[in-house]
Structure 1
């Protein structure tokens, strides 16, 4: 529980939501309680989050409200309350029939379908035999048995202030059919509804497997070293600093650092890269990756719950809450769709008999069939099912996308802006020239620069420090270190203020070096120039191919860099891309704003120095192999650190939105067709049921096709 602006934030896990209507009912029920705000319920990740004002509704009341609708609920951020059993007062045929460790055919819902199906078949057989006079009672019995749990849910929803639910419409339609003497069709309708609900649950559960698979990649135990021997412990008990052994074939349970041993590490679970990477002492390893060759001793860096893979799984699950604009529009549309259909059904039942003297039974039957078309389940699930499948697929391939809103924005881009250093280039520049001023030794110049840059994560700074280390140049102690984004770094050394920053391009030596495609930094002491250091960074091996793929997708690519025009031109010419150089952070923001005038803009950078531009763009993408920065910054991250994954991410987003459009057409198309045929009397009750539950199953299965997609393959 966390305190937020005087309100307590709570989170629960809910079991048994197998359709969009389930989530809608729960949200409506809890929103009516006093002091409740910020309700966020996600269908596929099965989470309920909300804020509670103090001294209003207790968490136990929230849980009872959800239970009264027939769902299981347990707190995930607070301890369970003791005043009730979260399983005790559950309805016998609730939606909570598909736990992850139980097959669908072992559930109570499956048993209900089987039993009512047998009764329906027996009644049908009786109709064809000498027992025909008694067959109607068999149909009535089959209808009532199948309708009982549906009616109970309808009444529970009605008590919670929700009269317009699919269960209520089904109850009215089936009861009405019995009243007008259509017992056989009423029984068939109830049976098909139960089958449809079962299929919805199975399909939704399969869609959730993509998210669950991420969590399952981390083993539950690890071999902990203790007092000269190792023993198995629960992974969740591991703490930073402890030493674990990882045998060949084992998955790492936590993020850590190798302290002895060398082996190939399969990182496909995190980055999607299937080729093992050889790592030895000092190398970082991530939870969920596989040790392929030799025994490793690893120092734990993070607790299991804080591992990179656990955070990726959490972000994928939470990303469902970042809904796409299309999904928000459909949600608003569906709120008046069901009441509108009920009004139409009422008019169909009353107007023809009253205005034209038509048969009451005929038009009542057609009105009842219309009621069954009034549930927008298929329409509401059409977007989140596709988005969740795309998010899960992306995570499996090292493409982390933070929500449906990002996917929708990414599918309609016009321009992709890319940083140079660390994005289009390897991000590992090397020192090529050291040009000290008169009276300054080259080694001293390197020592001053490295001492100021020590601790910085900027690629240029790391290159200077690495060169000093390679030349065995010791670093000097420094204080008051400060960074000026886009301008440089300064620190106090031996009582003097040293500055390492952008060199003056007007100097002949600087201009010459920049013309050679090098980046030049100038070192000053109390304002006096000490010399120049030049560095050069090479383009990524896959950069040209990535840019070609972006062009084939119809996207314009442009380089935005703070580097000098000479260095930028050298890289841009080799890659065939336009470039804007010498940009400070505010300059990149202005460039993004200018590009946005032509359409959606994506900014791709290293997630640190480009943060303002990443935020300014319609979509910000951070490069990084599973680092904290890559996970926390921007709207998406390329965990494999391969630039060709950028067009792959865009292809996945476009495929997801194509899938969404297909789903909306399926959902609305079937509804529209059967709305007309029902009013004309061409189709009846059982077809109306198929129009609802069948469409829900179809859109879910269509969305699941995204789970098998490889976004790196070009269509």
Structure 2
């Protein structure tokens, strides 16, 4: 983008970074505060699903290295997406540390009920705390470096306070429950990433490019706009383009949801991911692979997932206000009575720490994002790409649903629901003869007839 397109910049630039530690809106808020406050930054767009941020900035006032340094100061690592080095692999499997901490906490509870041996109970609870505290502590440190007091800061102080007043079980339980909720959210996000990335697999990874009378098979990323691409009958269209030669029916259901194949001739548009029918086609590429219709749909959904539902934003605002209030009240309780009433310091410090432990609203803050992300990933696995939590939240107010075409609530494939043989011919023989005639025809009606015959156990005969 040039300067004329952005009145705020002399040299408008866009840089995309992969952020390995960006798992949820907590990191997004920190990055927006840390990176968004840099001189020269115009906007910052975060995509939690792909763990990427896209920064619009003025190249005369800021460099990409300074953005990466600001991310590092926030306690995270940034890799330019254009870098040859691959971003670090983020583990999304079973969170064994959380599992082990949960088992240790549960074992301590069993010992407390059955065999109250203080040493073993403390040891198990200490192990549980040591296994779960680093993750919460890291996020609390990120928030403090970003000059924010959030739920992670409150929880860290509450855990320290619980240990200080010898309430080890409360400290371990708070950390384990918080860790389990975060693991569930991370797992739901990983499922959503996989479900959305599978949408891109409808387009083949290679294309048959016509060059000087020969056809070369090359990766779609290497095909340029204007190249001539050939598509064999029955093959998937690799890129968006305009037909320049041939005529065929094309199944566009994977892209547009259209239930019936569409006839394509010279001058018609074809989309990456659609399935060619019975005729060969040659088309001129009009969009690069990264800008195809399917890719843009995925990018829109990924970007929309960064949008917050109203209830999520409300809870986050509540946590941002609630945490400083609780910390202030705890400080007043700890020092107020001893200073002004001569009360015992130990007693009121203990009561202040009890307030921190009791006031920790981890269930309220965690429940909303986990529910939202789980619902979005479950919908994506079923082929429903919802544009973020805000859209999902509005479904509660929907009273009427309008469906625009066949294939939305049906399979989108023709099927024979009833057949009748005329004259003295048996039904099985009639089905077999009809299927034999239609077996070599690539048409939805022909396919339905062949499928009905095979369902009745009648295979098509050779036709001469």
Which residue of the partner structure matches residue 50 of structure 1? 55
C-alpha distance after superposition, 1:279-317 (max 9, x if no partner): 344432111212244443333233223323223333333
Are 1:154 and 1:171, in contact at CA under 8 Å, matched by a contact in 2? Answer: yes
Distance in 2, Cα, partners of 1:199 & 1:326: 19
Match of 2:236 among 240, 248, 251: 251
Which residue of the partner structure matches residue 371 of structure 1? 360
Match of 1:239 among 199, 215, 224: 224
Please say if 1:39 is aligned against 2:44: yes
Which residue of the partner structure matches residue 167 of structure 2? 182
Paired residue total:
397
Please say if 1:114 is aligned against 2:90: no
Are 1:254 and 1:303, in contact at CA under 8 Å, matched by a contact in 2? Answer: yes
Give the SS at the match of 1:275. Answer: coil
Match of 1:73 among 75, 78, 83: 78
Which residue of the partner structure matches residue 411 of structure 2? none
Please say if 1:272 is aligned against 2:252: no
The verdict on how the C-alpha distance between 1:348 and 1:289 changes in structure 2, with shifts beyond 3 A counting, is farther
Distance in 1, Cα, partners of 2:57 & 2:49: 24
Match of 2:30 among 25, 28, 32: 25
The verdict on how the C-alpha distance between 1:348 and 1:250 changes in structure 2, with shifts beyond 3 A counting, is farther
Please say if 1:299 is aligned against 2:284: yes
Distance in 2, Cα, partners of 1:141 & 1:330: 32
Q: Give the aligned CA root-mean-square deviation in angstroms.
A: 4.6
**Pairs within 5 Å for 1:699-714:** none
Distance in 2, Cα, partners of 1:168 & 1:111: 24
Are 2:44 and 2:54, in contact at CA under 8 Å, matched by a contact in 1? Answer: yes
Please say if 1:136 is aligned against 2:141: no
Tell me, which stretches of 5 or more residues in structure 1 are unaligned?
A: 88-95, 414-551, 555-642, 650-715
C-alpha distance after superposition, 1:347-397 (max 9, x if no partner): 6777899999996546632432313449745557878987x7899799968
Distance in 2, Cα, partners of 1:264 & 1:74: 44
Which residue of the partner structure matches residue 404 of structure 2? 645
1:175 to partner: Cα distance: 1.6
Distance in 2, Cα, partners of 1:139 & 1:373: 19
The verdict on how the C-alpha distance between 1:412 and 1:154 changes in structure 2, with shifts beyond 3 A counting, is closer
Distance in 2, Cα, partners of 1:235 & 1:143: 50
The verdict on how the C-alpha distance between 1:64 and 1:406 changes in structure 2, with shifts beyond 3 A counting, is same
Distance in 2, Cα, partners of 1:406 & 1:118: 38
Please say if 1:12 is aligned against 2:17: yes
Scaled by the length of structure 1, the TM-score of the pair is 0.46
C-alpha distance after superposition, 1:538-564 (max 9, x if no partner): xxxxxxxxxxxxxx959xxxxxxxxxx
Please say if 1:146 is aligned against 2:141: no
Distance in 2, Cα, partners of 1:406 & 1:52: 30
Which residue of the partner structure matches residue 182 of structure 2? 197
Are 1:338 and 1:374, in contact at CA under 8 Å, matched by a contact in 2? Answer: no
1:56 to partner: Cα distance: 4.4
Higher strand share: 1
The verdict on how the C-alpha distance between 1:8 and 1:272 changes in structure 2, with shifts beyond 3 A counting, is same
Are 1:67 and 1:73, in contact at CA under 8 Å, matched by a contact in 2? Answer: yes
1:65 to partner: Cα distance: 3.0
1:238 to partner: Cα distance: 1.2
Which residue of the partner structure matches residue 461 of structure 2? none
C-alpha distance after superposition, 1:152-173 (max 9, x if no partner): 34234323323x1333222212
Distance in 2, Cα, partners of 1:317 & 1:145: 32
Distance in 2, Cα, partners of 1:286 & 1:134: 65
Which residue of the partner structure matches residue 511 of structure 1? none
Give the SS at the match of 1:232. Answer: strand
1:180 to partner: Cα distance: 1.1
Are 2:207 and 2:229, in contact at CA under 8 Å, matched by a contact in 1? Answer: yes
Distance in 2, Cα, partners of 1:297 & 1:54: 42
The verdict on how the C-alpha distance between 1:39 and 1:197 changes in structure 2, with shifts beyond 3 A counting, is same
1:60 to partner: Cα distance: 1.8
Distance in 1, Cα, partners of 2:278 & 2:333: 72
The verdict on how the C-alpha distance between 1:348 and 1:37 changes in structure 2, with shifts beyond 3 A counting, is farther
Are 1:37 and 1:52, in contact at CA under 8 Å, matched by a contact in 2? Answer: yes
The verdict on how the C-alpha distance between 1:334 and 1:41 changes in structure 2, with shifts beyond 3 A counting, is farther
Are 2:248 and 2:281, in contact at CA under 8 Å, matched by a contact in 1? Answer: yes
- Between structure 1 and structure 2, the one with the greater Rg is 1
Distance in 1, Cα, partners of 2:79 & 2:198: 21
Are 1:13 and 1:48, in contact at CA under 8 Å, matched by a contact in 2? Answer: yes
Distance in 1, Cα, partners of 2:75 & 2:31: 10
Match of 1:64 among 69, 72, 84: 69
Are 2:151 and 2:362, in contact at CA under 8 Å, matched by a contact in 1? Answer: no
Scaled by the length of structure 2, the TM-score of the pair is 0.68
Which residue of the partner structure matches residue 289 of structure 1? 274
Distance in 2, Cα, partners of 1:256 & 1:233: 16
Are 2:158 and 2:353, in contact at CA under 8 Å, matched by a contact in 1? Answer: no
1:254 to partner: Cα distance: 0.8
Give the SS at the match of 2:260. Answer: coil
The verdict on how the C-alpha distance between 1:272 and 1:344 changes in structure 2, with shifts beyond 3 A counting, is farther
1:234 to partner: Cα distance: 0.7
